[in-house]
């Protein structure tokens, strides 16, 4: 059994990790930390877990975590992970960080959008944990920077077409929509029920910090700088994320080539469900799962491909992909702990 720890177990991403790891057949969840709720049971914060998860929350201590875990998930706001991850690695623990701290190769880029990086020496080693795209690198990693939810949702449909050169990497537009849980559990006016219900709105237009993350990965895949136009929106629902992407199809490319590219990249991938030409994803269909559903439609008059991609922002967009990465890092079945039968409503 793999011994797993969660640093920051009480946010929405943390509790999703608790859920998945508690049901994982090859994992023992040995330690869960919290700043705010030390000594309490998870069920005091999330009563859904009564009689299911009964272990108390602890204060973070690198030795105590390092001794008791083989792999640690850091589910903290950015800035905190880079302070503790080096110490965890030193203690021989594998780390999957769910913040932005280890998603960038280039500290300058990170620092432009976040703050000074205190562990820049680890960036080169850290693997960007987009599990379907970089599986070998993840498998041999000590440290994984788990992708953001928007990047996961947008990069998965884009990369096959970028890498095969079927779309023009100039002219990519990502119109993305997220459920409210993406904003986290800290009380905030913006996520109050009465402010969100019957409200649909864009936010952080042109300035969202997932933009450089996506551009960096796409540029790496394309082998040249890629710019994207990215507009996120908030949807009045708890979970779910949809990206509608628009890109110019290359002249000689056609729908068949697009379908083949997806098939080659993802035909064997258990968590990508290809819906093909005309296939329309729906966030409800991936709710609570690690699936990414992808469909596409051609606008023939503009020779523009419309890609549609749906994930659960807390699962494939965070905790689920993190566990998928752990599975790869620990030599487990990629699907282990992630194959519950989906709810249909």
Task: Provide the mask over 248-287, with x wherever binding to its own copies is found by CB under 8 A and - wherever it is not.
Answer: -------------------------x-x--x-xxxxxxxx
Centroid of chain to Cα 13: 10
**Sites for its own copies among residues 115-174 (CB under 8 A):** 170-171, 173
Which of 177, 208, 210, 316 binds its own copies (CB under 8 A)? It is: 177
Q: Which of 321, 320, 272 is nearest to 293 (CA)?
A: 272
Q: Return the number of the residue (124 or 251) whose C-beta is nearest its own copies.
A: 251
What's the CA gap between 7 and 33, in Å, rounded? 5
Query: Is 298 a binder of its own copies (CB under 8 A)?
Result: yes
Backbone angles phi, psi at 244, to 5 degrees: -110, 120
Q: Which of 51, 60, 63, 66 is nearest to 80 (CA)?
A: 60
> Which range, of 66-74, 105-113, 232-240, 260-268, touches its own copies by CB under 8 A?
232-240
Q: Return the number of the residue (122 or 289) whose C-beta is nearest its own copies.
A: 289
Which of 88, 153, 155, 180 binds its own copies (CB under 8 A)? It is: 180
Which of 9, 71, 258, 308 binds its own copies (CB under 8 A)? It is: 308
What's the CA gap between 213 and 164, in Å, rounded? 21
Q: Which residue matches tokens 């302070």?
A: 83
> Which range, of 65-73, 134-142, 231-239, 252-260, touches its own copies by CB under 8 A?
231-239
Which of 80, 218, 242, 311 binds its own copies (CB under 8 A)? It is: 242
C-alpha dihedral, 281 to 284 to 289 to 293, nearest 10°: 0
Query: Is 4 a binder of its own copies (CB under 8 A)?
Result: no
Which of 35, 54, 229, 263 binds its own copies (CB under 8 A)? It is: 229
What's the CA gap between 75 and 10, in Å, rounded? 9
Look at the alpha carbons of 250, 253, 256, 261 in this order and tell me if their dihedral is positive or negative. Answer: negative
**Sites for its own copies among residues 10-29 (CB under 8 A):** 12, 15-16, 18-20, 22-23
Q: Which of 255, 259, 328, 335 is nearest to 291 (CA)?
A: 335
Q: Which of 52, 146, 64, 131 is nearest to 97 (CA)?
A: 146
Question: Measured from the CB of residue 91, what is the shortest distance to its own copies in angstroms?
Answer: 28
Query: Is 318 a binder of its own copies (CB under 8 A)?
Result: no
330 is a catalytic site residue: no
**Sites for its own copies among residues 186-215 (CB under 8 A):** 187-189, 191-203, 205-206
**Sites for its own copies among residues 326-345 (CB under 8 A):** 340-345
Q: Return the number of the residue (187 or 331) whose C-beta is nearest its own copies.
A: 187
Which of 61, 83, 90, 299 binds its own copies (CB under 8 A)? It is: 299
What's the CA gap between 140 and 69, in Å, rounded? 18
* Type and span of the H or E element at 129: none
Query: Is 108 a binder of its own copies (CB under 8 A)?
Result: no
| Cα 329 to Cα 101, 135, 202, 299, 325, distances in angstroms | 19, 9, 37, 41, 6
Q: Which two tokens stand for residue 283?
A: 């966030």
Query: Is 36 a binder of its own copies (CB under 8 A)?
Result: no
Around Cβ 110, how many Cβ atoms within 10 Å?
Answer: 25
Catalytic residues: 149
């Amino acid at each position: 059994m793999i011994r797993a720890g969660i640093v920051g177990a009480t946010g929405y991403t943390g509790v999703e990790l608790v859920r998945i790891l508690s049901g994982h057949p090859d994992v023992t969840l040995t330690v869960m930390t919290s700043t705010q709720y030390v000594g309490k049971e998870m069920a005091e914060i999330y009563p859904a877990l009564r009689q299911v998860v009964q272990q108390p929350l602890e204060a973070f201590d690198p030795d105590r975590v390092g001794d008791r875990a083989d792999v640690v998930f850091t589910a903290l706001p950015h800035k905190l992970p880079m302070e503790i991850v080096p110490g965890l690695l030193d203690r021989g623990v594998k780390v999957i960080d769910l913040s932005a701290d280890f998603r960038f190769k280039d500290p300058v880029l990170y620092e432009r959008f976040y703050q000074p990086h205190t562990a820049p020496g680890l960036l080169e080693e850290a693997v960007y944990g987009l599990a379907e795209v970089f599986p070998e690198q993840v498998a041999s990693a000590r440290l994984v920077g788990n992708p953001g939810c928007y990047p996961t949702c947008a990069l998965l449909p884009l990369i096959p077409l970028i890498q095969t050169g079927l779309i023009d990497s100039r002219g990519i537009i990502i119109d993305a929509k997220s459920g409210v849980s993406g904003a986290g559990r800290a009380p905030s006016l913006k996520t109050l029920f009465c402010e969100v219900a019957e409200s649909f709105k864009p936010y952080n237009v042109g300035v969202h910090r997932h933009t450089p993350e996506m551009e960096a990965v796409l540029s790496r895949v394309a082998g040249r700088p890629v710019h994207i136009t990215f507009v996120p929106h908030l949807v009045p629902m708890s979970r779910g994320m949809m990206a509608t992407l628009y890109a110019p199809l290359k002249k000689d490319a056609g729908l068949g080539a697009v379908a083949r590219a997806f098939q080659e990249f993802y035909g064997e991938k258990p968590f990508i469900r290809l819906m093909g030409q005309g296939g329309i994803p729906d966030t409800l269909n991936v709710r609570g799962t690690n699936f990414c559903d992808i469909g596409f439609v051609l606008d023939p008059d503009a020779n523009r491909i419309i890609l549609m991609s749906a994930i659960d922002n807390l699962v494939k967009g965070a905790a689920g992909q993190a566990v998928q990465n752990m599975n790869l890092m620990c030599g487990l079945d990629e699907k282990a702990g992630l194959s519950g039968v989906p709810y249909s409503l």
